[in-house]
Amino acid sequence: MSKYNVFTSTIGDYTVVEVKPRKLTKEETKKLRAIRRTIMGEYNGPRAARYLKISTRQVRNLKSAVYAYGDYGVIHKNRFHRPPIAYSEEIRKEIVDLYRKKENRGMLISHFAEMLIDEFGYDMAPSTIYNILRENRIRSPKRHKKKRKTNNEKN
């Protein structure tokens, strides 16, 4: 397992490769600290298992992963992989661009989703289209805004 994330993007005829070191989450840092203590002999297997709320077998597996891969052995191996059924970035960008066109801009998201399915032949759930638009900070024009309570309404 590499200790770097490699990102590639194409700009015109050029392919740009970015290499960034992987960062550990708080939970992974906690795991690493406990596994290091078991390696140093401060914790035994059952104590580390109780601390991390996992089994002693998982502690042994994490310990061997830290020996093999270093600090990055505590990272779940599937963490940086995109699911194979996920929609590509091109399709997501196309949906957002279609919504931002002048004739579609004021549409309700549910109506826009129906239009995409009927007219453009997208085979995805309306909730997926809604989530894609929400990721790009597009909200439905008739969404309900939170009411602020005034002091008169509280009593």
* Tens digits of residue pLDDT in 111-151: 888 888 888 888 888 888 889 988 888 877 776 667 777 77
* Axis crossing angle, helix 45-52 with helix 56-69, rounded to the nearest 10: 100
Where are the strands (E) in 12-139, listed by range?
A: 14-21
The answer to pTM > 0.85 is no
**What confidence category does residue 10 fall into, taking pLDDT thresholds of 50, 70 and 90?**
low
**What confidence category does residue 4 fall into, taking pLDDT thresholds of 50, 70 and 90?**
low
103 and 56 in contact (C-beta within 8 Å)?
no
pLDDT for 8: 58
